[in-house]
């Protein structure tokens, strides 16, 4: 009888423990497909690892996880940045003036370094013997998105951001050598030449459709479509502050599909903001005939999926083809790369309608010498553009030099 009572007690205790657990285990994961933290009444969506792309759709980094609460496979997603969420079981959130502050974000590696398992996170304990990280390949470090808003560095419980899991396993090599991120991903030297591998990482890239921040290696291909219809409102968060808007410094960015090595959007002469945020607005494409050092110029190479122009698979965005930026056309997951350059002066982009070769500047306009007019575009060219790699090895290497920052993520149309 005593053994039976003990068995019942143990069973009840195990069931209570399982019920107290989150479905996805980690505090920074949620079963809600909108990326918000789950509530007590939410129920998970079951899935199979072989069909996760069809079963789990919604927030970034969708995955099929064995839940120790239900002992079934369920869909789990990263909690989106900015979500006011409930804490993990047994934890409480910090409050300021009655406002709940987020503590359960996914821990992000500093310096744009790679985490364990790509876009996954492996929390660790730096005070333990082996920290819980696979050494020496990974090192246990404090996440870059843990914020000590109260000025109490010795106390983590009142921090916000990834405060519930403040330490994370990060790739040792890319912690000190950001270009190793591109090498590990196979981007360098295959797509991005070695000399053009960025010297620093990017904190995050805010993409407006759907609105979410992406970090290095993040996969947003399971989010609701359209995902890259417009880049209007895109903001790149850097690890260093940009120059003030009234300074002569200018920034330049390239967002491109490394899978096709062709589809891309180039932003030139973007003013700084005096903060670490580099804002990319929807610019009118460069159509001025004269040489220009104007701010916020842009060129687009996009896949033509219009039947009337099917003989021209890649085209340059101009008034003839619609407003920019044109949507990327990939319907399955592709890797997109973001590169950022800095110059202490405005670059001279032009002339737009160049009729002669010019090796002294990047030509953003239409015409047979346009550096972003594809060789297959018979209407606007044929121009000089073949691949992003060729551009990076040529004019970009000459005038833009080595990027100051870079990252990559996965997405689809």
| Stretch 365-371: mean pLDDT | 77
State the pLDDT confidence band at 360, using cuts at 50, 70 and 90: confident
Peptide bond into 351 cis (omega under 30): yes
Instruction: Answer yes or no: is pLDDT of 395 > 80.
Output: yes
pLDDT at 327 over 80: no
Average pLDDT of 367-393?
81
Looking at residue 191, its pLDDT comes to 95
Dig out the tokens for 70 from the structure: 């239900």
Q: Which of 163-172, 199-208, 335-344 has the highest mean pLDDT?
A: 335-344
* CA–CA gap between residue 22 and residue 24 (Å, rounded): 5
Over the stretch 233-271, which tens digit does the pLDDT of each residue have?
Answer: 889 999 988 988 788 999 999 999 999 898 888 888 899
Give the per-residue pLDDT at 374. Answer: 81
**Reduced to 3 states, what is the DSSP secondary structure of residue 350?**
coil
Environment class of 8 (CB within 10 Å of its CB; exposed 0-12, middle 13-18, buried 19+): exposed
Tally of CA atoms within 13 A in the half-sphere of 39 that contains its CB = 4
Residue 278, pLDDT score: 93
Peptide bond into 382 cis (omega under 30): yes
CATH code for the part of the protein at 179-411? 3.90.280.10
Rounded to the nearest 10°, the torsion over CA 303, 309, 313, 319 is -50
What tens digit of pLDDT does each residue of 28-66 get? 899 998 888 888 889 999 999 888 888 998 888 999 999
Q: Give me the pLDDT at residue 193, please.
A: 95
153: left (phi over 0), alpha (psi -120 to 50) or beta: alpha
76 bridge partner residues: 63
Which residues, 6 or more positions from 89, have their beta carbon under 8 angstroms from its beta carbon?
20, 21, 22
Do 134 and 116 meet the contact criterion of CB atoms below 8 Å apart?
yes
d(CA 212, CA 214): 6
SS3 content of the chain, % helix, strand, coil (to 5): 15, 25, 60
pLDDT of residue 309 exceeding 90: no
Q: Is the pLDDT of residue 11 over 50?
A: no
- The DSSP string of 13-43 is HHHHHHHHS-TTSSTTEES-TTSSPP-TT--
How much is the pLDDT for 397?
93
Q: pLDDT tier at 127 (50, 70, 90 boundaries)?
A: confident
Number of other CB atoms surrounding residue 252 within 10 Å: 24
The full length of the chain comes to: 413
Could you tell me which residues come within 8 angstroms of residue 191 by beta carbon, excluding any fewer than 6 positions away?
258, 261, 337, 388, 389
Q: Which helix (H) or strand (E) holds 238?
A: strand 234-238
Mean pLDDT of 314-339: 64
Residue 324 has pLDDT above 60, yes or no: no
Token pair 């009444």: residue? 41
- Asked if 276 and 242 count as a contact pair (C-beta separation under 8 A), the reply is yes
- Hey, CA dihedral for 212, 285, 261, 187, is it positive or negative? negative
Beta-bridge partner residues of 252:
341
Highest-confidence segment of 317-321, 373-377, 401-405: 401-405
Alpha carbons within 13 angstroms on the beta-carbon side of residue 78 total 23
pLDDT of the residue at 72 = 95
Measured between alpha carbons, how far is 223 from 114 in angstroms, rounded to an integer? 22
Average pLDDT, the chain: 78
pLDDT at 95 over 80: no
Question: What is residue 229's predicted lDDT score, i.e. its pLDDT?
Answer: 67
Give the other-Cβ count within 10 Å of 45's Cβ.
17
Q: What is the tens place of the pLDDT at every residue in 276-303?
A: 999 987 655 444 444 578 787 777 777 7
Query: What percentage of the chain exceeds 90 in pLDDT?
Result: 34
Least confident of 41-45, 69-73, 205-209: 205-209
Domain ranges of the chain: 21-79, 96-175, 179-411
Question: Where is mean pLDDT largest: 39-43, 205-209, 311-315, 401-405?
Answer: 401-405
pTM of the model: 0.85
For residue 186, what pLDDT is reported?
Answer: 93
Give residue 79's pLDDT: 86
Rounded mean pLDDT, 346-362: 75
């Amino acid at each position: 009888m005593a053994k039976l009572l003990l068995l019942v007690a143990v069973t009840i205790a195990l069931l209570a423990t399982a019920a107290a657990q989150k479905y996805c285990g980690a505090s920074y994961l949620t079963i809600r497909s909108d990326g918000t933290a789950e509530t007590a009444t939410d129920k998970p969506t079951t899935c199979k690892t072989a069909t996760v792309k069809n079963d789990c759709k919604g927030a970034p980094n969708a995955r099929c996880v064995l839940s120790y609460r239900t002992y079934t496979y369920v869909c789990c997603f990263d909690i989106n940045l900015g979500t006011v969420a409930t804490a993990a079981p047994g934890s409480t959130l910090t409050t300021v003036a009655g406002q709940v502050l987020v503590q359960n974000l996914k821990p992000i590696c500093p310096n744009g370094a790679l985490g364990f398992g790509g876009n996954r996170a492996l929390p660790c304990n730096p005070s333990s013997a082996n920290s819980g990280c696979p050494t020496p390949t990974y090192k246990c470090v404090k996440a870059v998105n843990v914020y000590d808003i109260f000025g109490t560095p010795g106390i983590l419980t009142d921090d916000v951001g990834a405060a519930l899991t403040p330490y994370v396993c990060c790739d040792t090599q890319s912690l000190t050598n950001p270009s190793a991120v591109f090498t590990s991903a196979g981007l360098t030297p295959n797509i991005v030449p070695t000399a053009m591998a960025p010297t620093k990482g990017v904190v995050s890239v805010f993409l407006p459709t759907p609105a979410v921040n992406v970090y290095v290696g993040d996969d947003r291909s399971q989010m609701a479509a359209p995902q890259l219809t417009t880049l209007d409102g895109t903001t790149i968060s850097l690890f260093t502050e940009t120059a003030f808007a009234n300074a002569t410094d200018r920034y330049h960015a390239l967002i491109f599909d490394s899978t096709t090595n062709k589809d891309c959007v180039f932003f030139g002469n973007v003013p700084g903001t005096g903060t670490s945020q580099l804002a990319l607005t929807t610019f009118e494409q460069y159509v001025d005939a004269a040489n220009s050092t104007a701010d916020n110029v842009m060129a687009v190479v996009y896949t033509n999926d219009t039947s009337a122009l099917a003989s021209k698979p890649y085209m340059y965005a101009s008034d003839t083809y619609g407003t920019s930026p044109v949507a990327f056309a990939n319907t399955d997951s592709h890797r997109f790369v973001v590169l950022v350059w800095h110059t202490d002066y405005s670059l001279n982009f032009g002339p737009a309608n160049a009729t002669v070769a010019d090796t002294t500047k990047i030509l953003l306009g239409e015409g047979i010498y346009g550096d972003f007019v594809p060789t297959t575009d018979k209407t606007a060219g044929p121009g000089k553009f073949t691949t992003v790699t060729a551009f990076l090895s040529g004019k970009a290497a000459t005038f833009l030099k080595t990027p100051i920052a870079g990252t990559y993520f996965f997405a689809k149309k």
